[in-house]
Amino acid sequence: MSNVEDLTAWVADRRADIVADLTAYVFQETPSDDKALLDSGLAWVENWLSNRLGEPDARRQVDGGQFGDTLVLDYETDNESDSWVTALAHYDTVWPRGTLVEWQPRLEGDSFTGPGAFDMKGGLVQFVWALKASKALGLSRPNVRLVINGDEEIGSPASRAVIEEEVLRGDAVLVFEPSANGALKTSRKGVGIFQIDVQGLEAHAGLDPESGVSAIDEIARVILKLHQQTDLAKGTTVNVGLVQGGTRTNVTAGRATAEVDVRVSTQAEVHRINTILEELKPLHRDASLTVRGGWNRPVMSRSDLTAQLVTAAKAAATQLGQDLEETSAGGASDGNFAAALGLPVLDGLGAVGSGAHARNEWISVSEMLERTSLTAALLAVLNETPDQWSPGRRDVVPSSVGRN
Ligand SMILES: [Zn+2]
C-alpha cells in the first residue's frame, strides 16, 4: 500500500507526457457520424495504447457497420485476482469534421481546451496513465477490460449489445465520462427519444376550410399534453424540442411532427410516460397519429453494490488526500446499460472541467493528474476488497432490458 503514496508524485512527473497524449488524441477528429474518421481515430487509439501499455492479453474488434467499431481489450493483472473491472470510454465526439480548423487544442495555465477533451478524451488518457502508474509502482489491481466505442453520442446503436455482453463478463463497471465538478455520478436519468407524426387533410384554408383537418392543430394539443407531464419533483422532464408541419399559410396542414426528449429518474415514471404516449389520440376523427422511437437508455439507479464502489473510491481518495463527492446526473451514458443489468457502476471518473458539447469545453490538467492517481488507487482498493463489490456477481441473472 505504501506505493500509493508515491502515486501523486509519479503522475505529476509525467504531466508533460499526459498533456502531449491528450493533445495528440484531440487532434484525431472522431465525429460519431463520420465512419472514415472514426476508423482512423480508433486505429490511432489502439496504436497509442500499445505504446503506453504494451499488447493486451486479448483483443476483440466488433464491426459497427455504418457506426464506429467497438474495441475490447483485456489487461490481465500480474497479481492474484479473478475479479474483472470493465472500463467504458467512448472515442466519438459531437464535433464535426473540420472543427479543428478553427479550434485547436490549447493549454493555458492549468486549463486545456479542445474539441472532445472533456467529453471524453481526457477520461481515456487518465485511465491509460492510471494503468501505467499502477504497473510502474507495483500496485495491485483486478483484471481490467477496456471497452472503447464510437457511437455513444448518438445513443450507442451498434455498441450497446457489445457493452452489455462485455460488462456481464465482469464484476463492476467504471465509466470515464466527465465528472460533475469532480463528483462521481452514481445515478443517471433514463432517456427516451420519441417522434409524434400527425396526418391531417389538406384543403384551401379560405375557400374550403370545412374539408381540411389541421395536423398543426392536432400537434399543438399533443405538445401541451406532453409538456404537462414534466414533474420536476419526480425528476421527469418532457421537452418537445423540434416541431415541423404544414406547407403554406393558405393550406390546412396535412402533416406535422414533434420530436420529444424525455428524462426520468424512476422506472415508475417510464411506465407513466409510456402510458401517456400509448394513449395519445387525435381530436379530429379524420386525423391520425403515430408515435415512434423509444427509451434510448434505461434509468441508472444507485444500487447497494454501487454504494460499495463509492466507499472504495472514497477510501482511495482519502489515501491520496483528495476530496471526493458523488451526485446524480440528468444526462445518460453507457453506464446506464450496465446498471440496468444489475452491475455496480461508478460513472464520472473522467475529467474535471466543464462545457461538454459546447465550444468552451475545457479540462483542468492538475485535476487530470489527480484523477489519474485516484483511478490507480481505486483499482488497488478494489483488488483488496473484491467481496464487497462483487459478491456472487457471476450468479446474478440479468433482468431483461427493453430495446428499441
Ligand atoms: Zn461522453
Determine the Cα–Cα distance for residues 294 and 213; give it in Å rounded to an integer. Answer: 28
Contact 314, 170 (CB under 8 A): no
Q: Give residues with Cβ within 8 angstroms of 14, minimum separation 6.
A: 129
Confidence at residue 393, expressed as pLDDT on a 0 to 100 scale: 56
Q: Give residues with Cβ within 8 angstroms of 218, minimum separation 6.
A: 198, 200, 256, 282, 283, 284, 287, 289
Q: Tens of pLDDT along 200-247? A: 999 999 999 999 999 999 999 999 999 999 999 999 999 999 999 999
Confidence at residue 394, expressed as pLDDT on a 0 to 100 scale: 52
Q: Rounded to the nearest whole angstrom, what is the distance from the C-alpha of residue 216 to the centroid of ligand 1? A: 36
Cis ω before 120 (30° cut-off from 0): yes
Q: Rounded to the nearest whole angstrom, what is the distance from the C-alpha of residue 214 to the centroid of ligand 1? A: 40
Q: Rounded to the nearest whole angstrom, what is the distance from the C-alpha of residue 307 to the centroid of ligand 1? A: 22
Q: Rounded to the nearest whole angstrom, what is the distance from the C-alpha of residue 118 to the centroid of ligand 1? A: 8
Burial class (CB in 10 A: 0-12, 13-18, 19+), 251: middle
Q: Rounded to the nearest whole angstrom, what is the distance from the C-alpha of residue 68 to the centroid of ligand 1? A: 15
Q: How many CB atoms lie within 10 A of CB 237?
A: 17
- The CA distances from residue 306 to 120, 162, 348, 350, in Å, are 22, 22, 13, 17
Q: Rounded to the nearest whole angstrom, what is the distance from the C-alpha of residue 177 to the centroid of ligand 1? A: 5
Q: Give residues with Cβ within 8 angstroms of 402, minimum separation 6.
A: 294, 295, 298
Q: Which residues of the chain have pLDDT under 50?
A: 1, 397-404
List the end-to-end C-alpha distance of the chain, in Å, as a whole number: 46
Coil/strand/helix, residue 236: strand
Q: Rounded to the nearest whole angstrom, what is the distance from the C-alpha of residue 190 to the centroid of ligand 1? A: 15
Confidence at residue 29, expressed as pLDDT on a 0 to 100 scale: 98
Q: Rounded to the nearest whole angstrom, what is the distance from the C-alpha of residue 153 to the centroid of ligand 1? A: 6
Q: Rounded to the nearest whole angstrom, what is the distance from the C-alpha of residue 139 to the centroid of ligand 1? A: 28
Q: Rounded to the nearest whole angstrom, what is the distance from the C-alpha of residue 263 to the centroid of ligand 1? A: 17
Q: Rounded to the nearest whole angstrom, what is the distance from the C-alpha of residue 199 to the centroid of ligand 1? A: 37
Q: Rounded to the nearest whole angstrom, what is the distance from the C-alpha of residue 208 to the centroid of ligand 1? A: 52
Q: Rounded to the nearest whole angstrom, what is the distance from the C-alpha of residue 257 to the centroid of ligand 1? A: 29
Query: Looking at this protein, which amino acid is placed at residue 332?
Result: A
* Residue listed under C-alpha cell 449489445: 161
Number of H-type helices and E-type strands within the chain: 12, 16
Query: Looking at this protein, which amino acid is placed at residue 292?
Result: R
Determine the Cα–Cα distance for residues 201 and 247; give it in Å rounded to an integer. Answer: 12
Determine the Cα–Cα distance for residues 352 and 274; give it in Å rounded to an integer. Answer: 36
Q: Rounded to the nearest whole angstrom, what is the distance from the C-alpha of residue 12 to the centroid of ligand 1? A: 25
- What grid cell was written down for 40? 482512423
Q: How many CB atoms lie within 10 A of CB 281?
A: 12
Coil/strand/helix, residue 256: strand
Q: Which domains does the chain have, with CATH numbers?
A: 2-188+300-395 (3.40.630.10), 190-297 (3.30.70.360)
Determine the Cα–Cα distance for residues 141 and 264; give it in Å rounded to an integer. Answer: 35
Q: Rounded to the nearest whole angstrom, what is the distance from the C-alpha of residue 120 to the centroid of ligand 1? A: 5
Q: Rounded to the nearest whole angstrom, what is the distance from the C-alpha of residue 237 to the centroid of ligand 1? A: 21
Confidence at residue 5, expressed as pLDDT on a 0 to 100 scale: 82
Determine the Cα–Cα distance for residues 314 and 320; give it in Å rounded to an integer. Answer: 10
Contact 29, 95 (CB under 8 A): yes
| Residue length of the chain | 404
Q: Rounded to the nearest whole angstrom, what is the distance from the C-alpha of residue 333 to the centroid of ligand 1? A: 7
Determine the Cα–Cα distance for residues 139 and 79; give it in Å rounded to an integer. Answer: 9
Confidence at residue 395, expressed as pLDDT on a 0 to 100 scale: 52
Q: Rounded to the nearest whole angstrom, what is the distance from the C-alpha of residue 129 to the centroid of ligand 1? A: 19
Determine the Cα–Cα distance for residues 71 and 60; give it in Å rounded to an integer. Answer: 6
Q: Rounded to the nearest whole angstrom, what is the distance from the C-alpha of residue 284 to the centroid of ligand 1? A: 43
- The CA distances from residue 244 to 8, 63, 258, 282, in Å, are 54, 35, 7, 17
Q: Tens of pLDDT along 38-56? A: 999 999 999 999 999 999 9
- The CA distances from residue 389 to 134, 303, 314, in Å, are 20, 11, 14
Task: Give me the phi and psi of 121, to 5 degrees please.
Answer: -65, -35
Q: Rounded to the nearest whole angstrom, what is the distance from the C-alpha of residue 253 to the centroid of ligand 1? A: 39
What count of Cα atoms within 13 Å lies in the side-chain half-sphere of residue 156?
Answer: 28
Confidence at residue 401, expressed as pLDDT on a 0 to 100 scale: 44
Q: Rounded to the nearest whole angstrom, what is the distance from the C-alpha of residue 128 to the centroid of ligand 1? A: 17
**Residue whose C-alpha is closest to residue 245's, from 257, 227, 232, 228:** 257
Determine the Cα–Cα distance for residues 175 and 218; give it in Å rounded to an integer. Answer: 42
Q: Rounded to the nearest whole angstrom, what is the distance from the C-alpha of residue 140 to the centroid of ligand 1? A: 28
Determine the Cα–Cα distance for residues 187 and 302; give it in Å rounded to an integer. Answer: 5
**Residue whose C-alpha is closest to residue 351's, from 152, 128, 123, 173:** 123
Cis ω before 300 (30° cut-off from 0): no
Determine the Cα–Cα distance for residues 380 and 397; give it in Å rounded to an integer. Answer: 28
Determine the Cα–Cα distance for residues 404 and 161; give it in Å rounded to an integer. Answer: 12
- What grid cell was written down for 321? 488526500
Q: Rounded to the nearest whole angstrom, what is the distance from the C-alpha of residue 392 to the centroid of ligand 1? A: 30
Contact 387, 225 (CB under 8 A): no
